[in-house]
Each structure stands twice: as structure tokens, then as C-alpha cells.
Amino acid sequence: MSNIVKFVQPIYDSSSTMTLLHPKFNIEEPRFDQGTYWGRAKHFFITTNPLNILATTEQLEAAKNLLDKYKSGEVKNISEDELWKAKQLYDSAYHPDTGEKMFLPGRMAAQVPFNMVITGCMMTFYKTTPAVVFWQWFNQSFNATVNYTNRSGDTQISTNTVATSYCAATGGALFTALGLNSLVKSLPTLVGRLVPFVACSAANCINIPMMRRLELENGTMLETEDGQQLGLSKVAAREGIAMVTMSRIAMAMPGMVLIPIIMNKLDARGLFRRFPRANAPMQVGLCGVILMFSTPLCCAIFEQRAAIKPARLEYELQLKIKELSKTPDVLYYNKGL
């Protein structure tokens, strides 16, 4: 067992007091209360920690094996802290529904390092058409990867769906960015600096629903509190995708709105005339600092295991629920991230 645990040690600090597991300890649930905003925020501060992407394949497999052995009863004499280190590392790299290891750029832990570079460059090079085309294309390529990786359930997305969604989102972002750039040329510089945010918001409203359109067509799986699957719901799928879209826009807003204001003030004082090469590094750095907080805080706006009242579901599902021996007051589904 010590050989398994040691792989997890480099990612988390083990200085906290080791306590033996309580018999009712539930490894299936996150460590912090997901019914409160701050409980979710604490969970995502750990899950989106960029250091998690430095974990090797061996470390991830060790964390997974430890959890599997604990669930099967092979491992009993283990501290709660050791188990949580494995659980938190596992959650950062494996899909919550399928259990598959996620493509590294699509993991939420990769959001900060990837987005700080992409967002910083989009806001730095927003004036010329070639730069706008390249960075909006690059951003939508990354977003498509994230949306596919963090889709709800085990929905299989065809190559045709991925290609269609990718082209629609990229086209929407380019149309918005280039169109707005041509309209704001005579307006104050600050207005032009905000164009990337508007373009990204429009693209998110296209990219996420398009990438997950099979959920909109077929529905997402509903479960009772104890995990019993009841069927697919299009209503739940629409609500989940809307929540993800709003949280993604909120995630981008602090950096893509505050930084242009800061940069505009610095530019007005002549800083970038004296140090022209400082523009891009400063914007990328500021993006990194802001995203370290906005990413987990905005992921926490809505519960990942979202709840929905049976009365709001499709009529057929309501009939099926009424046939249960114990009618649940609320059902759950994974909204995705």
C-alpha cells in the first residue's frame, strides 16, 4: 500500500494530521459539501489546480488503484488524508461518469495554463485580421477539446458532430470578432480591447450546445439520490448545458474585462511606448493570476451533480417516476463542466 500512496505524495502536502477512516466514510462523494457554494469552490480549487497536470501516468494509476482497492475492501488500514489525496488526484484526471482518463488539454486542471496564454494573446493581438483569425481559431480548437472532454455522461459524439460544432463555433467567433473590429475602429481604444470577450462569449453560446447536441436530441441520464437510473431527459440536458455556458462566460469575464481596463490606463500613461515588448507578457501574466481564482470560483456557481424536480420533466418520465415504490422529490444528473 505504501508503494501506491507514494505516487500521490508529490502533488499534495501530507503535513496534516493522519486520522483513521470513519466506518461511514463515503469515498464516492467530494470531500467538501457540494450543497454550498464555498464547499464547491474548495473542491474546484483542488481539482483545477494546474499542478495536477504534472502528475505522471504512474501517479494517476496509483491513485486509481488505491481507490479501487479501498472500495473492494482490500485496503482498510489507511488514513483519511491519504485516501483524499488519491481521490482528489483521480477527480482531476478521470471522467466522473465513464471513469476514462481524460485528454490532458481537456482537463479542468489545464484551464489556467492554456487559457492564460490564449486569452492574453487574443487581447494583445486583437487589431490585425491575421492575428484575430489565428487566435480565435486556436481558442475554439481548445474550447472544442474541453467541451468534448467534459461532456455529460458517456455520450458518444460522432466525428461529424465534432467537425460541425467546431466549424460553427470558430465561424461564429471569427464573424463576431472581425465584424466588431470593423465597427469599433472610430471608437475609443477600450471598446476595441473588449471585442475578444464579446467574440468568446458568442462562441461559447455556439460551441457548447453544438458539441453536446446529442444530449439536446436524446437527453441526459437522470438518477435518484442512490444512483438508480430512470431515463434520459432533454429538459435536464438543456438546463445543464445552459448552466455550463453561463459559467464559462463568467469564467472569462474577469480577465477579459478587467485587464483591458488596466492595459488601457497603462497605455494612456505611455508605458508601452517605453516598453513595447512588455504588452503581451503582462497580459498573459495578469490572465494567469485572475484565472487561478475565476476558474474554480466560476466552476462552483452551479453544482456538477445538478438537481431537478420531477414536475419539470417530460410527461413520459413523470409517469415512470410515479410508478416507483417511493416517489423521489428530486432527481439528479451530471451537467458537465
Indicate whether 73 and 127 sit together in one domain.
no
Mean pLDDT calculated for residue range 21-37: 70
Do 172 and 214 have their domain in common?
Answer: yes
* pTM reported for the whole predicted model: 0.76
Q: Check: CB of residue 147 under 8 Å from CB of residue 208.
A: yes
285 and 196 share a domain?
yes
**How confident is the model over 314-334, as a mean pLDDT?**
84
Q: What is the pLDDT of residue 277?
A: 80
Report CA 208 to chain centroid distance, whole Å.
Answer: 11
CB 220 within 8 A of CB 304: no
**Would you state the pLDDT for residue 177?**
75
Q: What is the pLDDT of residue 25?
A: 57
The answer on 316 and 219 residing in a single domain is: yes
Residue predicted with more confidence, 72 or 304: 304
* Lowest mean pLDDT, pick from 12-26, 64-78, 288-302, 318-332: 12-26
Q: How confident is the model at residue 243 (pLDDT cuts 50, 70, 90)?
A: very high
Task: Verify that 142 and 49 share a domain, yes or no.
Answer: no
**Residue pair 174/133 in contact by the 8 Å Cβ criterion:** yes
Higher per-residue pLDDT: 199 or 302: 302
Q: Are residues 59 and 111 in the same domain?
A: no
**Mean of per-residue pLDDT scores for the chain:** 80
Mean pLDDT value across residues 204-227: 83
Same domain, 42 and 187: no
Mark whether 179 and 300 lie in a shared domain.
Answer: yes
Question: Is residue 89 domain-resident?
Answer: yes
Q: What is the pLDDT of residues 132-148, one digit of tens each?
A: 888 888 888 888 788 77
Q: Which pLDDT score is estimated for 153?
A: 60
Residue 99 lies in a domain: no
**Residue 286, H or E segment:** helix 279-299
* 331 three-state secondary structure: strand
Q: Is 64 in the same domain as 145? A: no
Q: Is the pLDDT of residue 269 over 60?
A: yes
The arithmetic mean of pLDDT across residues 159-167, rounded, is: 77
pLDDT at res. 157: 67
Domain boundary among 34, 62, 93: 93
Distance between CA 86 and CA 72 in Å, rounded?
15
**Inside any domain, residue 43:** yes
Residue 98 in any domain: the answer is no
Q: Is 191 within a domain?
A: yes
Count how many domains the chain has. Answer: 2
User: Running DSSP on this structure, what letter comes out for residue 17?
Assistant: P
pLDDT (0 to 100) of residue 293: 93
**Whether residue 217 sits in one domain with residue 166:** yes
Statement: residue 23 has pLDDT above 80: no
- Considering the domain architecture, whether residues 83 and 156 belong to the same structural domain is answered as no
CA atoms of 280 and 123, how far apart (whole Å) = 8
Domain boundary among 93, 113, 144: 93
pLDDT 10s digits, 177-198: 778 777 777 777 777 778 888 8
DSSP state letters, 48-116: T-GGGGG--HHHHHHHHHHHHHHHHTS--S-BHHHHHHHHHHHHHHB-TTT-PBPPGGGSGGGHHHHHH
Which range has the worst mean pLDDT, 11-15, 127-131, 194-198, 220-224? 11-15
For residues 159-185, give the mean pLDDT. 76
Write down which residue in 52, 72, 93 finishes a domain. 93
**Is the per-residue pLDDT at 18 higher than 70?**
no
Q: How confident is the model at residue 1 (pLDDT cuts 50, 70, 90)?
A: very low
Please, what is the end-to-end C-alpha distance for the chain in angstroms? 33
- Does residue 115 sit in the same domain as residue 215? yes
Q: What is the pLDDT of residues 78-120, one digit of tens each?
A: 778 888 888 888 888 888 777 788 888 888 888 889 988 988 8
Domain encompassing residue 177? 104-334
**pLDDT 10s digits, 292-316:** 999 999 999 998 888 889 888 888 8
- Residue 329 within a domain: yes
pLDDT at residue 246, rounded to an integer: 93
| Dihedral sign computed on CA atoms, order 92, 94, 95, 101 | positive
CA-nearest of 126, 266, 254 to 199 is 126
Q: What is the pLDDT of residue 152?
A: 64
